[in-house]
Structures are given as structure tokens and as C-alpha cells.
Amino acid sequence: MTKRSTLAAPYQIFLVLFVVLPLVLILIYAFMDGNGGFTFSNFATFAGQPEAIKTFVYSIEVAVITTVLCLLLGYPAAYIMSNSQLNRSSITVILFILPMWINMLVRTLATVALFDFVRIPLGEGALIFGMVYNFLPFMIYPIYNILKKMDQSYIEAAQDLGASPRQVFFKVIIPLSMPGISSGVLMVFMPTISTFAIAELLTMNNIKLFGTTIQENINNGMWNYGAALALIMLVIIGITTVFADSSSNREEDAGGPI
């Protein structure tokens, strides 16, 4: 017994140092004033700043739009890739996954260069494009996984019971791929809400996202306020995780790494 648990020790130390401790520090800093006393003033400041709240709401909007677009583009892509009748080679799969091998910043810088080249002004459109481009594979992969593993006999059973191809898709394939969808939504929504590099690069720093606000505050030494903002964001992400979890609980083998 003791031998086995000592094997886990390095991981436990790692988790404590790099996951638990930072979280605790964020929590403590968020409720601390400049002199180290307990306070709610950081949250009050946030509530009192329409600008900050606007950024916050805007960030959620961008994240939601990105997630919806990724889902609308990613689901058909995953469906086509998983369907051996439509796609006979695994090359398509590799092509979709390939961009993930390249660093996100490099990809975004390339996007900026591309937009420059074709003379499309950077701004909100470019921001959404960049976000979707960067996070699309995270939507496709879990959905692809679950569609690939789906038992063909469910589809046959539905056809057998009188479902047209359309009805098979909406009444069987979509409901059965829900675990993949929620996992994909989570994997896109979570990083998009906190991203700041893409926004900075693709809007020439003209559009601010919540991630940018946090980064600026912490860069400027406003540790306590920054920690409070980070905490608010964590709560939002936490809520979406709980929602996604409850919808994917029905199927044990959800297709994603979450």
C-alpha cells in the first residue's frame, strides 16, 4: 500500500504547487485590499465600473458566438469525416487536426499577415474569424470521436421504424452525439472566454476582452483587483462545466478529454 501511494507523491506535489496553491492565492488576493486586510471592495470596484462590466459581457458574447459558429461548422465536418461513405480516407481527419500542431500565436500572427495581404481591415470580424479558426479542431474532434464510435445499428433501427434520413439525423444521431457536443462546447467556450492574445493581435488592441482586462490589471500591479476578475471568470467557467456535465452524464463514454 505505502509503496503504491509513494508513486503518486510527485504528482500530488505538482498539483499542490501549480494548481491548488495558485487557486488559493487567487481566492485570497481577490478578498484582500492593498494593505492585506479582508475586503469586498475589489468586487465592488468591478460592479461600479460600467466599462469593465461591458467588457465582461462582450467577452461572453464573443465566446458564445465563437462556440455557436464552431458547432455549426464543426458538426457537419465531424459528420462527414466519420461517415465512411462520404469520406474514405483518414487524410481529411489529419488535415483538420494538423493546425493544432502549430503554436496558437504563430497561427494568429499568420492570420494577421493573411488579412493584411488581402487588405481586410482587422477588427471584430477578424477577431471572430481568428477565434473560430483556432478553436474549431477542439469542437470537431470530440464530436468526430463519438460519431465514429456510434453503433450503426441505432441508425438502422431508426430507419427500420420508418425514419427518413432527415429524421434519423435529428432524432437519433444528434441526441446520441450530445456527449461529444457538450465536450466540444466546453473545450471551445472555456478558452475563448479567457483568451487575450488573439484579441490583441487580430484587432490591433482595439477591442478589449475580459482576458485582456485581467492581464492589464495584473501587469499594472493591481494584483487584488485582477485576482477578483479572474475569480469571476472562474465561476462562469465553473457554471458552464456543471451544465455540460449534467447533459453528458447519460452517456458514460463521452468523446473528449474532459
Partner 1 sequence: MAGKDAIIEIEHLSKVFGTTLALNDINLSIKKGEFVTLLGPSGCGKTTLLRHIAGFIKVEEGRILMEGKDISEVPPFRRELNTVFQRYALFPQLDVYDNIAFGLKLKKLPEKEINKRVKKMLKMVSMTGYEGRDVNSLSGGQQQRVAIARALVNYPKVLLLDEPLAALDLKMRKDMQIELKEIHKKLGITFIYVTHDQEEALTLSDTIVVMKDGRILQTGSPIDIYNEPKNAFVADFIGDSNIYDAVMIEDRRVSFCGHEFECVDEGFGNNAPAEVVIRPEDIYVLPNPAAGQFTGVVRSCTFKGVHYEMFVDTPEGYEVMIQDYNAFEVGSEIGMLIKPQDIQVMHVSRVENIFKGEMVDSNHVDMIGGVFECPQTGFERGQKVTVRVPYDKVDLMDNVEDGTVCANIDFLLYKGNHYAIHVLTEDGYSARVSTNDVWDKNDMVGIKILPGDMTIEKAEEND
- Integer Cα distance of 202 and 111 in angstroms: 8
Binding mask 123-152 toward partner 1 (x if CB under 8 A, else -) reads: ----------------------------x-
Binding mask 236-255 toward partner 1 (x if CB under 8 A, else -) reads: --------------xx----
Find the part of the chain contacting partner 1 (CB under 8 A) among 56-64, 97-105, 171-179, 223-231.
171-179
Helix or strand or coil: residue 32?
strand
Decide if residue 163 touches partner 1 (CB under 8 A).
yes
In this chain, which of 98, 110, 161, 239 binds partner 1, going by CB under 8 A?
Answer: 161
In this chain, which of 157, 170, 220, 238 binds partner 1, going by CB under 8 A?
Answer: 157
Q: Nine-digit cell at 5? A: 501511494
Torsion of CA 187, 191, 193, 198, to 10 degrees: -130
Q: Which of residues 67-96 bind partner 1 (CB under 8 A)?
A: none
* DSSP codes of every residue in 220-233: TT-HHHHHHHHHHH
Find the part of the chain contacting partner 1 (CB under 8 A) among 23-31, 61-69, 159-167, 220-228.
159-167
Backbone angles phi, psi at 255, to 5 degrees: -85, 5
Decide if residue 167 touches partner 1 (CB under 8 A).
yes
The residue among 18 and 170 lying less far from partner 1, judged by its C-beta, is 170
- Integer Cα distance of 126 and 34 in angstroms: 39
Q: Which amino acid is at 205?
A: N
Decide if residue 54 touches partner 1 (CB under 8 A).
no
**Cα atoms in the 13 Å half-sphere on the side-chain side of 151:** 5
Question: How many residues bind to partner 1 according to rule CB under 8 A?
Answer: 20
Q: Decide if 189 contacts 256 (C-beta within 8 A).
A: no
In this chain, which of 49, 92, 159, 241 binds partner 1, going by CB under 8 A?
Answer: 159
- Integer Cα distance of 8 and 137 in angstroms: 32
Q: Is 196 exposed, middle or buried (0-12, 13-18, 19+ CB in 10 A)?
A: middle
In this chain, which of 31, 154, 196, 223 binds partner 1, going by CB under 8 A?
Answer: 154
The residue among 184 and 211 lying less far from partner 1, judged by its C-beta, is 184
The residue among 90 and 153 lying less far from partner 1, judged by its C-beta, is 153
Q: Decide if 64 contacts 188 (C-beta within 8 A).
A: no
Q: Nine-digit cell at 41? A: 471592495
Decide if residue 153 touches partner 1 (CB under 8 A).
yes
Residues lying near partner 1 in the complex (CB under 8 A) are found at 151, 153-154, 156-164, 167, 171-172, 175-176, 178, 250-251
